[in-house]
């Protein structure tokens, strides 16, 4: 599994385990809900949408 896949999988687990919405995560990371949605769909993030991938 690639780092990107691991990040997406971890984000999905966090949403479930902590009963968070995409909007909750977006607010905490100062991004849009649409960005979080794109991360979870594994679409190609661009610009600031790459933030969780830059953290690693």
Please give the chain's pLDDT, 56 residues, in tens: 577 788 888 889 999 999 999 999 999 988 899 989 988 887 665 655 555 655 54
Task: Determine the pLDDT at residue 18.
Answer: 96
DSSP state of 49: G
Q: What is the CATH number of domain 3-55?
A: 1.10.260
Task: Determine the pLDDT at residue 56.
Answer: 42
Domain ranges of the chain: 3-55
Q: How far is CA 22 from CA 12, 27, 33, 36, 54, in A?
A: 10, 9, 6, 6, 19
CA 15 to chain CA centroid, nearest Å: 10
């Amino acid at each position: 599994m690639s780092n990107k896949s691991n990040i997406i999988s971890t984000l999905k687990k966090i949403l479930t385990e902590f009963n968070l919405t995409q909007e909750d995560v977006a607010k905490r990371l100062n991004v849009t809900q649409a960005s979080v949605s794109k991360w979870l769909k594994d679409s190609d993030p661009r610009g600031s949408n790459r933030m969780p991938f830059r953290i690693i």
